[in-house]
Amino acid sequence: MSDIRDLSIAELGKAYRDRSLSPVEATRDALATISAHNESLCAFNTVVPEIALERAARAEQELMSGQDLGPLHGIPFGAKDIYDTAGILTSCQSKLRPDVIPDSNAHSVQKILDGGAVLLGKCATIEFATGGPSQETLFPPARNPWNTDHVPGGSSSGSGAAVASGMTRMALGSDTGGSIRGPAAYCGTVGMKSTYGRVSRRGVFPLSFTMDHCGPLSWSVEDAAIALNEMAGFDPLDPASANVPVSDYTAQLNSGVKGMKIGYVANWLDEDENTNPEIRAAITEAKNALRAEGAIVEPVTLPAHDVYHACGRMIILAECYAIHEKDLMERPELYGRPTRERLMAGAFVRGSDYVEALRMRREMTHWFNAEILGKYDMVIAPATSLPAGRFDAEPNNPLALGGYLTVPFNVTGSPAMSVCCGYTSEGLPISMQIVGRPFDEAGVFQVGAAYERATDWRSQRPLLAGGDVLAAE
């Protein structure tokens, strides 16, 4: 086991600058971890060691000469395989794109590279970020590092597995119905979905024009805050981009939650008769931990999760079908079956249903922001009602999300972050969501960091194939 792997982004940066460690050493260590474990985890579709080591050497020279590009300078990272990467395959996990090599980077990838970060390669996804795990796609599906018989969640599956296994401290994901927070929950990492419009989607293959979000997955809240600092910002070439100032997301990490008023979504787990009792218990303990830190935590009732789910899925299905209609008509055989079935369901969404869903979305968003976030500083909610399922138990229902409770905050566009809040008796992670007011990512990080300090969940890492145990940070 390497000690390098135990260092956070901030700790790596400090080591670079006091010259006790170099970006080349850290990158070689990351590549060695990928080489050792990617065959069993399938977390990366494409690895680019030559490019990574070249960028790491450049970062080392820059830092040695006094040219400091910021906290991500020399830090290795991965990008979900729907993000455009110049000169590197962007496959979307699909046989429709076996040779698509973009000429330019996605906006957020470019911003991170401009900060001196080192791209290791492209992380596995669910085909076109929809459907489910499939052996019919261009690359095999990623597996959960805690138990490879279980799914890592989708669609940022490889990003979750890569971070949890220590291949990288941070990886980029996208979230349309929970595709950052779900894999974060199943893999025990941090997953940050920022406010709709906070991070540009330009150069990221779309799933839903009005519900796609981009953000990082990481091992710690601080690492997520550092990454989002680089990703966030106005992009005039993304029509959905919000021209709202970006604060320093690390500034409030040590502020604590004393006196903060937090609403807990009390009804969603009760609505699902299949809710895992260990998740219910873990969420109760998480509430108690925040209370012990001085927060006022009170129950709140939101509309039934099924209502949010129906609204969100109607929008997503209609919009993703519009994106894929031509290929579905001309080359349906190249899609994996779960993807094809999910996309084809969109063909049956009526225009009136889509318009009604958009209307409902506006009403529910206004109500949530005014009635709930008008009274509370923050909201917490379970991320899932079930732990990660087994591959051999995955449902075939194209509308199913496998226990995710994440869609509501895609509907509202709220900043929402998954943080680990325990483990089941079988050793699978449990997670809660922290949800803030529009563009208050800093507050979300503040609560997450306080909870992280109050608990020791970050001390547990998966036992990898070959007996390699990652130590606590």
- pLDDT digits over 212-268, tens only? 999 999 999 999 999 999 999 999 999 999 999 999 999 999 999 999 999 999 999
For residues 49 and 26, what is the distance between their CA atoms, to the nearest angstrom? 12
Q: What is the pTM of this model?
A: 0.96
Q: How far is CA 292 from CA 93, 151, 167, 256, 295, in A?
A: 45, 34, 34, 11, 7
- Sorting pLDDT into bands at 50, 70 and 90, what band is 3? confident
Q: Whole-angstrom Cα distance, residue 303 to residue 424?
A: 28
Cα dist. 263→1, 103, 193, 434, 435 in Å?
41, 46, 19, 10, 10
Q: Write 230-236 long-range contacts (CB < 8 A, 24+).
A: 230/70, 230/71, 230/72, 230/111, 230/112, 230/115, 230/117, 231/108, 231/111, 231/112, 231/172, 231/194, 231/199, 232/194, 232/198, 232/199, 232/441, 233/111, 233/199, 233/200, 235/107, 235/200, 235/202
Catalytic residue among 179, 208, 220, 431: 179
For residue 271, name the pLDDT band (cuts at 50, 70, 90).
Answer: very high
Kindly state the DSSP code that residue 459 receives in the 8-state scheme: G
User: What integer pLDDT is reported at residue 398 of this predicted model?
Assistant: 46
Superfamily of domain 4-459: Amidase signature (AS) domain (3.90.1300.10)
Q: What is the pLDDT of residues 177-207, one digit of tens each?
A: 999 999 999 999 999 999 999 999 999 999 9
Residue 201's pLDDT is 98
Cα-based distances in Å from 47 to 32, 115, 416:
11, 21, 30
- 370 pLDDT tier (thresholds 50, 70, 90): very high
Q: What is the pLDDT of residue 469?
A: 53
pLDDT digits (tens, 9 = 90+) for 445-458: 999 999 999 999 99
Helix, strand, coil shares of the chain as percentages rounded to 5? Answer: 40, 15, 45
**Residues 155, 159, 208, 385: which is the catalytic one?**
155
Indicate the pLDDT class of residue 403, thresholds 50, 70 and 90.
confident
Which regions of 356-415 does DSSP assign to beta strands (E)?
378-382
Residue 415 binned pLDDT confidence (cut-offs 50, 70, 90): very high
Task: Reply yes or no on whether 35 is catalytic.
Answer: no
**Catalytic residue check, 22:** no
* Amino acid symbol at 422: G
Are 301 and 266 a contacting pair, CB within 8 Å? yes
With a cut of 50, say whether residue 8 has pLDDT above it: yes
How confident is residue 402, by pLDDT bands cut at 50, 70 and 90? low
First vs last C-alpha separation in the chain: 13
Q: Tokens in use for 278?
A: 């260990």
- Residues 214 and 228: their CA atoms lie apart, in Å, by 10
Report phi then psi at 459, rounded to 5: -85, -10
pLDDT at 1: 37
Which listed residue (80, 122, 193, 287) is catalytic? 80
Question: What's the whole-number mean pLDDT along residues 292-314?
Answer: 97
Assess whether pLDDT exceeds 60 at residue 2: no
**pLDDT of amino acid 471:** 40
Tell me which DSSP letter residue 372 carries: I
Question: Using an 8 Å Cβ cutoff, are 179 and 162 in contact?
Answer: no
pLDDT reading at 44 higher than 80: yes
pLDDT single digits (tens) 129-139: 998 899 999 99
As a whole number, mean pLDDT of residues 90-105 equals: 98
Tokens linked to 314: 């109607």
Look at residue 81 and tell me whether its pLDDT is greater than 50.
yes
Mean pLDDT of the chain: 95
Is residue 80 part of the annotated active site? The answer reads yes
